[in-house]
Amino acid sequence: MFELSLLCPEDRVDLLSDALDALDALSVSVEDADAQTPAEQALFGEPGMPPPKDGWQRSRMVALFAQEAQAQEAVALLKAQDFFDGCRMLGVVAVADQDWVRLTQSQFAPVEITSDFWIVPTWHEPPAQARQIIRLDPGLAFGTGTHPTTRMCLRWIAQHGVQDQRVLDYGCGSGILAIGAAKYGATQIDAVDIDDAAVTSTELNAQANNVHLQAGLPDKAQGLYQTVLANILATPLKVLAPLLCAHVAPQGSLVLAGILERQADELKAAYAPWISLEVADSEDGWILMTATSPASAPVSS
């Protein structure tokens, strides 16, 4: 295979992506051309949502082609277009043959949650210091422990304990939080998601970790739970405020993630009629928000 690389301003990224796709590129990636320099720009987006911008002020685009002739033809055709003004070709190079499975696996090393709690892919040996592990490989459902929101939720479980509790993982994805709760002693766990693939992934991952939980669609969540976990996104978390709060048992814990630091006040306001959220942890621009339910159970509205 062959890589075509080019440099372009932010406002041409979308046009060039469409053009490369039409020219039969197998894939197109965009990165900051100034990465690892003082001019590097950070673009933060929420998981599962479109990026805030199409590219960077100086974007490097890399298109993968099956044959060199295709890549060279793309070079010639793009240079002839008016919209290529201000862009520059960087070249076409052959991609070295690699063991792509091994390369992909090498990108997913064990992830530290606490000093003795680790997420470990099945092809790795657990670290010597790991007393508690979750076996999890990358899959279709979101949640492998590599994202700060997942790590913060798991860290909260490890540090606060859910022994003998009834726990709800709302928006379970891969089921990683539900599995973490089971590893730390929760005895009744419901893991729910609107995506059938996530439900299946959760069931398979639970089996692989020898833990018992109930996975299903959101209507499986019934009654009160001592701990309610939801690692989704800020907007759906605001919409779900009355529903999630109604599931928290008196003096139970609500744990929310998928929230950017700048969204803290929005979440506090959305949940204020039922519960008082506070920032409990932060990492790489993301925050974990938690609350303890009052002594009387919240009333659903």
Looking only at the bridges linking them, the beta strands covering 58-65 and 166-170 are: unpaired
Query: What pLDDT is stored for residue 252 in this prediction?
Result: 97
Position of tokens 């929310």? 256
Please, what is the Cα angle at 124 between 122 and 125, to 5 degrees?
Answer: 110
Is-contact 175 183, C-beta < 8 A? no
Write down the pLDDT at residue 50. 55
Distance between CA 248 and CA 275 in Å, rounded?
Answer: 10
291: phi then psi, degrees, rounded to nearest 5: -155, 155
pLDDT, position 32: 85
CA 274 – CA 290 distance, rounded (Å): 13
- Residue 39 has a pLDDT of 67
Which pLDDT tens digit goes with each residue over 94-147?
987 765 556 565 567 888 899 999 999 888 888 899 999 999 876 544 566 678
Residues of the chain with pLDDT under 70: 36, 39-56, 98-107, 138-145, 296-301
The set of residues, in sequence order, having a beta carbon less than 8 Å from that of 296 and lying 6+ positions away, is 250
